[in-house]
Amino acid sequence: MSGMDINQIMEYLPHRYPFLLVDRVLEVVPGKSIVALKNVTRNEEFFQGHFPHHPVMPGVLVIEALAQTAALLSFKTENTKPDGKIVTYFVGIDNARFRNPVFPGDQLRLEVELLRHSYKIWKFSARAMVEDRVAAQAQLMCAEKNLTEEA
């Protein structure tokens, strides 16, 4: 299936600057996998404090970029768009590893594969690449919650 530009991504994700961490989707195969990009620039707000004299993208934000990419895959798999009634929460990270730092000027290739989907639970295998090196990898779990149901 074809990719998505930033305007299409914003139709699916509620995140906005400075927390929208997916710039483009290169390809998506519903029910299987997705490949997206995050362009890392020096003017990202987090570089002001992490670290001013040696800027490195925080690993938790690399994982968040992967989680946002996974959310796009789940919406494409279900052939739905958010309607304000359902929210997808990031509920688990297993086997997370940070292999190489991410610097300004890098382009993260976000690769996510659906491992399983059962009822409202999604599990993914994910990795972030910079050129031919792994920056981070993990298994991610997300859960859907209907906001209109009483807690």
Residue range 78-84: mean pLDDT, rounded: 88
Q: Read off the pLDDT band of 146 (50, 70, 90).
A: confident
CB 100 within 8 A of CB 133: yes
d(CA 61, CA 149): 30
What is residue 49's DSSP assignment? Answer: T
Over the stretch 114-137, which tens digit does the pLDDT of each residue have? 999 998 999 999 999 999 999 999
Over the stretch 2-15, which tens digit does the pLDDT of each residue have? 899 999 999 999 99
State the catalytic residue, choosing from 50, 53, 54, 117.
50
pTM of the model: 0.95
Q: Name residues whose C-beta falls within 8 Å of residue 41's C-beta, 6 or more positions apart in sequence.
A: 104, 105
Over the stretch 100-115, which tens digit does the pLDDT of each residue have? 999 999 999 999 999 9
Q: Read off the pLDDT band of 150 (50, 70, 90).
A: low
Q: Does residue 54 carry a catalytic annotation?
A: no
- Beta-strand runs (E) in 30-85: 33-39
Average pLDDT, the chain: 94
CATH topology of domain 6-146: Thiol Ester Dehydrase; Chain A (3.10.129)
Q: Which residue has the higher pLDDT, 81 or 39?
A: 39
Residue range 21-38: mean pLDDT, rounded: 98
